C-alpha cells in the first residue's frame, strides 16, 4: 500500500507529482529539441508538458518511468480520473461506454459483419467487444486494467488478454482494430501503432481515437493529465499513423483525432510538422492558475461533470 503522503501528493494543487521520471527524446521523430507548452494540469498541479520542435508531438517532461506509471495506476488513477473505487467500473462509466460503443459500431457498420475478426486494443469494460460480437464478428480484447477486463469477461463472455506483445497475434490477423483513448497513456505509442498496423489485414481498418489537445471550449490546462504522457493534435496523430504505414481512410468521416485509418504503400514522407510546436505554444497558453482559480471559471465545468455523472447514473437505474 502507498503511504497517505504519496496519495495526498496526487491531489494537492500547486505542487508537483510524486515522481522523478527521466528525459526522453520524441517518440515519433526521435528529435530532442522541444518547447514548453504547459506547466499545470487540470488539477492545477504542476507538471511540465513540451512539444517537439520537429514534429509537434506533446509529451510529459520528464517522462514518468514505467514503474512510476504503474504505481500511479495501481493507487491514484481511478480516484483521480473516474471517481471510481475498487469493485469494477462505476455505472456512469458503463452507460457512457455503451453509448460510445454503439456510435463506433455504427461508423464501422460495413466492416462489422459476420466472419470478420476484430481486436479492441484497450477494451476497457468490454461494451464495444460485445456490440461487435452481436453483429457477428469474432472478437478479442486487450486490457491491462484487471477489474475492467474481468468485468468484460464476466458480463459479456468475451475473450480479453491483459497484455499483448509482438507475438500475441500473427501479422494480418484482423479485419478491424480499434483503439479508443489508449495512445495518450503510452510511453511508446509509435511502437504500439506499428504493432497494430502489422496485425491488420492489407485491406483492414484501424479506428483510433485520442483526446484532441487543440480542442476549443475548455481552458488549456484542463487538457493535461498525469496519466496522459503524450498529447496529440490532428497533424501529430496522422503522422504517428503515417510512420506505421497508415493514412486516413477517405470513406469514413473523421472528427479531429478520432480517425479511421487504412494501410498505404506510398513512400514515407519526412517525419516533421514545421511550425506546429510554436503554434501549440500559442494555442495552449495557460491562464495563470491563480487567476483562473479566483475567476471561478472552473466551477461550471466541475458542476457539469458531476451533473453528467449523476444523470448517467439515473439513466441506468
- Return residues touching Zn ion (CB under 5 A): 26, 28-29, 31, 52, 54-55, 57
DSSP letter at 151 equals H
Smallest distance from the beta carbon of 242 to Zn ion, in angstroms? 13
For Zn ion, give the closer residue by CB, 25 or 293: 25
Smallest distance from the beta carbon of 129 to Zn ion, in angstroms? 33
DSSP per residue, 282-304: HHTPPPPHHHHHHHTTTHHHHHH
Which residues pair with residue 123 across a beta bridge? Answer: none
Sign, CA torsion 85/41/94/137: negative
What is the chain's alpha carbon radius of gyration, rounded to the nearest angstrom? 20
DSSP per residue, 23-49: ----TTT----EEEEEEE-TTS-EEEE
DSSP per residue, 230-271: EEB-HHHHHHHHHHTTEEE-TTS--BTTEEEEEE--SPPPPS
For Zn ion, give the closer residue by CB, 57 or 260: 57
Smallest distance from the beta carbon of 272 to Zn ion, in angstroms? 8
For Zn ion, give the closer residue by CB, 96 or 234: 234
Q: Are 247 and 264 in contact (CB under 8 A)?
A: yes
DSSP letter at 22 equals B
Cell triple for residue 25? 527524446
Smallest distance from the beta carbon of 276 to Zn ion, in angstroms? 9
For Zn ion, give the closer residue by CB, 28 or 119: 28
CA 297 to CA 277: how far, in whole Å?
27
For Zn ion, give the closer residue by CB, 29 or 94: 29
Q: Name residue, grid cell 504547459.
A: 38
For Zn ion, give the closer residue by CB, 57 or 206: 57
Smallest distance from the beta carbon of 22 to Zn ion, in angstroms? 17
Smallest distance from the beta carbon of 182 to Zn ion, in angstroms? 20
For Zn ion, give the closer residue by CB, 29 or 129: 29
Smallest distance from the beta carbon of 29 to Zn ion, in angstroms? 3
Amino acid at each position: 500500500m502507498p503511504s497517505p503522503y504519496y496519495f495526498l501528493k496526487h491531489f494537492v494543487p500547486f505542487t508537483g507529482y510524486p515522481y522523478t521520471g527521466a528525459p526522453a527524446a520524441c517518440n515519433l521523430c526521435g528529435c530532442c529539441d522541444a518547447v514548453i507548452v504547459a506547466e499545470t494540469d487540470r488539477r492545477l498541479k504542476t507538471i511540465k508538458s513540451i512539444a517537439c520542435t520537429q514534429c509537434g508531438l506533446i509529451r510529459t517532461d520528464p517522462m514518468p518511468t514505467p514503474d512510476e506509471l504503474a504505481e500511479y495506476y495501481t493507487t491514484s488513477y481511478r480516484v483521480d480520473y473516474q471517481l471510481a473505487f475498487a469493485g469494477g467500473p462505476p455505472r456512469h462509466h458503463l452507460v457512457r461506454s455503451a453509448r460510445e460503443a454503439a456510435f463506433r459500431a455504427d461508423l464501422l457498420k460495413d466492416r462489422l459483419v459476420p466472419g470478420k475478426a476484430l481486436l479492441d486494443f484497450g477494451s476497457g469494460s468490454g461494451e464495444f467487444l460485445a456490440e461487435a460480437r452481436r453483429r457477428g464478428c469474432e472478437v478479442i480484447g486487450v486490457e491491462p486494467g484487471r477489474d475492467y477486463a474481468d468485468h468484460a469477461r464476466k458480463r459479456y463472455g468475451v475473450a480479453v488478454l491483459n497484455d499483448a506483445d509482438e507475438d500475441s497475434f500473427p501479422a494480418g490477423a484482423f479485419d478491424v482494430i480499434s483503439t479508443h483513448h489508449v495512445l495518450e497513456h503510452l510511453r511508446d505509442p509509435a511502437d504500439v501503432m506499428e504493432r497494430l498496423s502489422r496485425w491488420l489485414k492489407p485491406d483492414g481498418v484501424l479506428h483510433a481515437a485520442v483526446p484532441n489537445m487543440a480542442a476549443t471550449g475548455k481552458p488549456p490546462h484542463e487538457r493535461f493529465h498525469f496519466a496522459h504522457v503524450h498529447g496529440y493534435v490532428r497533424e501529430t496523430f496522422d503522422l504517428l499513423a503515417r510512420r506505421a504505414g497508415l493514412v486516413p481512410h477517405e470513406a469514413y468521416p473523421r472528427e479531429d483525432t478520432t480517425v479511421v485509418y487504412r494501410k498505404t504503400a506510398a513512400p514515407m514522407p519526412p517525419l516533421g510538422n514545421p511550425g506546429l510546436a510554436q503554434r501549440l505554444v500559442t494555442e495552449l497558453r495557460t491562464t495563470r492558475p491563480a487567476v483562473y482559480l479566483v475567476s471561478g471559471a472552473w466551477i461550471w465545468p466541475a458542476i457539469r461533470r458531476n451533473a453528467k455523472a449523476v444523470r448517467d447514473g439515473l439513466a441506468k437505474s
